[in-house]
Amino acid sequence: MTSNPSILSGVNLRKQFRVSAGPASQTGVLTSVDGVDVEISKGETVGIAGESGCGKTTLGKLLAGLLPPDSGEVHYCGRAVRTLSPAERERFRQRTQMIFQDPYSSLNPRMRVGDSIAEPLVIAKSSSRQAIRAAMLKLLEAVGLEAEHADRFPDEFSGGQRQRIGIARALASSPEIIIADEPVSSLDISIQAQIINLLQTMKSERHLTMAIISHDLSVLRHICDRVLVMYLGVIVESAPAAQLFQHFQHPYTEALIAAIPRIACGHRETTVFLSGDIPSPLAIPGGCRFHTRCRYAVEICRTTPPPLEEKRDGRFAACHLSKDIFPR
């Protein structure tokens, strides 16, 4: 973590959804985020990793103010968002923007892309029509598109171009914080690198704070200062990115890192397999939530939830056995 002050944080965030499996089934309660604490320092890039269904997208939406928490608080610049005045809350919404996962569904198909990008400026009513168009064209150029693209519709663009448009739209309100939800998961490998490089460039040029949500740890490794690993609604590990990949402290992180594709160089590393599927968030196991898939699990893991605590300098994990199985 950097020494800069916190700009965005969540304290004991919890979010549940009532869901039904079918017309004849009873309604159940799906726990998506369950008592999560997270703190993002000004200028930091934080990664949020985990399998599909672990709650990372819901956490991102809570931090962005797009979903209200059932309990807990989101803090912006040290103040609880719910206590902000209407004008201050509007500033929070302008300064905290989200880039969505699917560039095919996140743009209005009936709006020209120039209008989509300019919409935040129009809503703010802070400039003339000519100034808004000039700002929109400048944003298009900043993300590697041409002025002529402004008058086209989303279906005339590739996935990578649409994601560039989404980034331009997020930047239109001059945000301080960008929360990107799986920004490259739906793109070809060759395009993924371009979008990652664009995000890094935008962060540097505009002095942004960023949270990157991804199931792909290899993406987070090269762009993040710190990585949070989520499993079934809770954070199971938090560490500086470089240390996480060299000296992980949780068996789930070990398995995620082992699953990253590598080119073999004369020897084959031991593969760590996860047994079974991730349990349903409608029926979260007791004790450690990961114990049903963990090859190290013992009796205490099945009965007692482990707290997220500091295991090494700056490295936190929720595991009863981490100091024994990961002694470094």
Sole residue written with tokens 């939800």: 181
pTM for the predicted model, two decimal places: 0.91
pLDDT at 278: 86
What rounded mean pLDDT belongs to the chain?
90
| Share of residues in the chain with pLDDT > 90 (%) | 72
Q: Output the pLDDT for position 39.
A: 96
pLDDT in tens, 159-193: 899 999 999 999 999 999 999 999 988 788 888 99
Distance of alpha carbon 290 from alpha carbon 253, whole angstroms = 11
Q: Which of 14-18, 44-48, 61-65, 269-273 has the lowest mean pLDDT?
A: 269-273
Question: How far is the C-alpha of 16 from the C-alpha of 231, rounded, in Å?
Answer: 15
* Spatial distance between the Cα atoms of 161 and 263, rounded to a whole number of angstroms: 30
Question: Predicted confidence band at 3 (pLDDT cuts at 50, 70, 90)?
Answer: low
The band of 36, judged by pLDDT with boundaries at 50, 70 and 90, is very high
> What is the 8-class DSSP label of residue 26?
P
**Which is higher by pLDDT, 233 or 125?**
233
Residue 58 in this model has a pLDDT that exceeds 50: yes
Kind of pairing between the strands at 209-214 and 177-181: parallel
Would you say 229 and 52 are in contact if contact means Cβ atoms under 8 Å apart?
no
Asked if pLDDT for residue 141 goes beyond 60, the answer is yes
Q: What is the pLDDT of residue 273?
A: 64
Burial class (CB in 10 A: 0-12, 13-18, 19+), 120: buried
Strands 45-49 and 71-76: unpaired
DSSP 231-280: ETTEEEEEEEHHHHHHS--SHHHHHHHHTS-----SS-PPP-PPPSPPPP
Q: Are 13 and 35 in contact (CB under 8 A)?
A: yes
Of the pLDDT bands very low, low, confident and very high (cuts 50, 70, 90), residue 263 is low
Residue 312: pLDDT over 50: yes
pLDDT for 27: 75
Confidence check: pLDDT of 219 > 50: yes
Q: Which residue intervals of the chain are DSSP H helices?
A: 56-64, 86-95, 113-124, 129-142, 159-171, 189-206, 217-223, 241-246, 251-258, 299-303, 322-325
